[in-house]
């Protein structure tokens, strides 16, 4: 491996330093230690609205400088990549400006809050790609070794004809009605609730594993708790008995979404995204049934993939557990000896590794902004179907 300091620098600028910003920072810090990249990612600057908070984040997370204006971050000569970790309402403006300035862009999911914003972002990304400037949307679950292995088996034909897909993303972090009205529960900032936040992940994961796209959907959404204490006023107070003594706000996004759909290869699919699955913390689950075999995955046991070979005689058939930690499994060989499992944070390291390798090779990274636009159109179709209670809503082609 060449000495790291002999490689050309790739300056990274990140906008946002909360949950996603911390995870992305860890990925940029660790990627060169485990993967032999053609360049040396340099954490040039992080951007946030608070000067004090951003300076503290820069010191804690390993960024060389702090900015309070994302336009200034984009204008920096030492920034080649803009990594967007902000709420969805700012994605389009930042991403389009960065691409037009000649900066590569990595943008958190969902791509935008509306189809119109996603279309504008995809258009800007296509134009930038013609100049050798690339963009990628951050669907990190593609980079779970077990999920990537599942996609590999489907592509190899191990499952035969795909007939049925079942996907779930189950969380419970807002079951308590006293939980405050954070930005993820506000449509103006988040675009939608469980549907866009975690439903987007299972849409992308299902399409990635099967290599097919949804063509029709029919959905239901529900908001179980319609009023919550405002985040600024709720610290240390109870909203019980109608929120006495606490200023309340309206929840205008969904708490849960259910929808069925049809994939481009003819398979049927069902999807469930909820923040009200009491006892489930981060259960992204998917099962794919084919004519020759089936596979199943649950992120709460993320190093395992279950596989059923339908060709075996009934007396010995059944799902078998595959521990996806061998050197021949996707990504796993760069880390620990077999059996030493990986965690959530590793998926983001794999994500930036793939992104850096693509942009430095002059290859469009995946998933592209067009892929993100496709997911945005699925989300919008589910919302339309739920709103008008229609049986099936068609998905436009990108």
% the chain with pLDDT above 90: 92
Specify the 3-state DSSP secondary structure of 136. Answer: strand
Q: What is the pLDDT of residue 61?
A: 98
Site of tokens 């930042």:
94
Give CA–CA dist 325/311, Å, rounded. Answer: 25
Q: Looking at the domain 145-301+303-342, which fold is it? A: Dihydrodipicolinate Reductase; domain 2 (3.30.360)
Lowest mean pLDDT among 1-10, 157-166, 209-218: 1-10
Task: Enter the pTM of the model.
Answer: 0.94
Is pLDDT at 1 greater than 60 in this prediction? no
Dump pLDDT digits (tens) for 151-175.
999 999 999 999 999 999 999 999 9
Closest CA to 149 of 35, 345, 306: 306
Domain ranges for the chain: 7-140, 145-301+303-342
Q: Are strands 40-47 and 9-15 parallel, antiparallel or unpaired?
A: parallel
Helix or strand holding residue 63 (H, E): none
Dump pLDDT digits (tens) for 309-326.
999 999 999 999 999 999
Give CA–CA dist 147/370, Å, rounded. Answer: 21
Closest CA to 24 of 345, 252, 361: 345
Helix or strand holding residue 225 (H, E): none
Task: Check if CATH label 3.40.50.720 holds for domain 7-140.
Answer: yes
Reported residue count of the chain is 398
């Amino acid at each position: 491996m060449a000495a790291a300091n002999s490689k050309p620098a790739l300056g990274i600028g990140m906008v946002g330093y909360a949950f996603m910003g911390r995870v992305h920072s860890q990925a940029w810090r660790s990627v060169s230690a485990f993967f032999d990249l053609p360049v040396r990612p340099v954490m040039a600057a992080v951007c946030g609205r608070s000067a004090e908070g951003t300076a503290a984040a820069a010191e804690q997370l390993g960024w060389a400088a702090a900015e309070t204006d994302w336009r200034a971050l984009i204008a920096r000569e030492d920034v080649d990549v803009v990594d967007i970790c902000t709420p969805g309402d700012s994605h389009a403006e930042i991403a389009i400006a960065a691409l037009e300035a000649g900066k590569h862009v990595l943008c958190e999911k969902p791509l935008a809050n509306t189809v119109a914003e996603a279309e504008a972002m995809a258009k800007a990304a296509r134009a930038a790609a013609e100049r050798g400037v690339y963009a990628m949307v951050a669907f990190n679950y593609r980079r779970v070794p077990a999920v990537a292995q599942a996609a590999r088996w489907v592509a190899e034909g191990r499952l035969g004809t795909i007939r049925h897909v079942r996907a779930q993303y189950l969380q419970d972090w807002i079951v308590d009605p006293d939980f405050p009205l954070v930005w993820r529960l506000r449509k103006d900032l988040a675009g939608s609730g469980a549907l866009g936040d975690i439903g987007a992940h299972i849409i992308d994961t299902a399409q990635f594993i099967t290599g097919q796209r949804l063509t029709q959907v029919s959905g239901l959404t529900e908001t179980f708790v319609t009023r919550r204490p405002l985040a600024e006023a709720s610290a240390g107070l109870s909203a019980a008995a109608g929120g006495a003594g606490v200023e309340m706000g309206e929840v205008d996004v969904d708490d849960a979404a259910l929808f069925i759909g049809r994939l481009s290869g003819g398979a049927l699919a069902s999807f469930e995204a909820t923040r009200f699955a009491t006892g489930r913390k981060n259960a992204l689950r998917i099962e794919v049934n084919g004519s020759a075999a089936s596979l199943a995955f649950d992120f709460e046991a993320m190093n395992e993939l279950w596989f059923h070979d339908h060709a075996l005689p009934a007396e010995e058939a059944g799902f078998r557990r595959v521990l996806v930690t061998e050197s021949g499994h996707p990504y796993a060989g760069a880390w620990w000896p077999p059996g030493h499992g990986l965690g959530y944070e590793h998926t983001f390291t794999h994500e930036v590794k793939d992104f850096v390798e693509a942009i430095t090779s002059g290859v469009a990274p995946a998933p592209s902004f067009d892929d993100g636009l496709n997911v945005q159109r699925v989300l919008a179709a589910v919302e339309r179907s739920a709103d008008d209670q229609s049986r099936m809503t068609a998905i436009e082609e990108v």
